[in-house]
Amino acid sequence: MKRIAALITILLLATAVFAQEADNKFRTKMFEVHHRSARDLSLAIKGLGSGTKGAEFSWNDEMHTITVRDYPENIAAIEEALGRLDKPMASTPDVEMKISLLIGSKTALPGPAVPEDLEPVVKQLQSTLRYSHYTLLATDIHHSKTAEGMVGSGLADPALMGLATSNPIFYEYHLRNIRVDAGAERPSVAVENFKFQMRAPLVNKGTQYESVGFETAVSIKQNEKVVIGTTTMGDRAVIVVLIANVK
């Protein structure tokens, strides 16, 4: 029994000596963070610490500091990692999207005239589609960052679509995952998915609606006017025109 007690005492003393030796080898260093969140950097590099009992790792976002207490080699590894990671974030371009909805018809339309900047588009449509008359349904301008999306919606007068009803027409569109290629002389914008949907009331059907629309990927140059899709409703069509501007 005395022998077991002696062994336990020896182990405890050895553990204490080891802990004291480890503690004596620890160093403490405070790092200033200049470009990123101290918390985010800490979570990224915390694994570089030794994990030894007595080692410490803390951060303060308000003071923009990370404090480490560990072996010199671990502190050196953390310092090297911070030097690589604490860099200014690359600026993300702003993207402006101008989305215009035109209505095409074989007969004259009661809506507003097509804006001057879309007249070249209308001339092209008149030569390629069977509609000779065009009017503007709506124009929306959206701003977004790269990789984000855009959403828009609105109401349309059913008379513009030749529908004899008082129930409005609903439209909506979604742009998902917008990317910018700014490396070329003329920047370009890519949209992974552009979804347009229109819900029109069925005449003499009360509140019943039918849905039409399209989905497509989009690639467009800076300030280029592109017809990205059309959808028909009766004897008329809705044409979606997109203009992109990278800022």
- pLDDT higher at 20 or 223: 223
Other CB atoms within 10 Å distance of the CB of residue 225: 17
* Token reading at 21: 């030796």
Kindly compute the dihedral angle of the four CA atoms of residues 173, 175, 176, 178, in this order, to the nearest 10 degrees.
180
pLDDT given at position 19: 46
**Interval 15-25 mean pLDDT:** 53
The reported pLDDT for the residue numbered 90 is 67
Does 79 have pLDDT greater than 90?
yes
Amino acid at 220: I
Does the pLDDT at position 31 exceed 90?
A: yes
Q: What is the mean pLDDT of the chain?
A: 85
Asked whether the predicted pLDDT for residue 185 surpasses 80, the reply is no
Q: How confident is the model at residue 14 (pLDDT cuts 50, 70, 90)?
A: very low
Q: What is the reported pTM?
A: 0.62
Residue 161's pLDDT is 83
pLDDT value for 180: 85
Other C-beta atoms lying within 10 Å of the C-beta of residue 205? 11
Which of the listed CATH numbers 3.30.1370.120, 3.40.50.300, 1.10.3720.10, 3.90.650.10 matches domain 2-85? 3.30.1370.120
Task: Show me where the domains of the chain are located.
Answer: 2-85, 94-246
At residue 181, the pLDDT reads: 81
Query: Taking residues 102-121, what's their average pLDDT?
Result: 90
Residue 200: predicted pLDDT: 85
Edge-to-edge strand order for the sheet containing 27-32?
Answer: 27-32, 65-70, 56-60
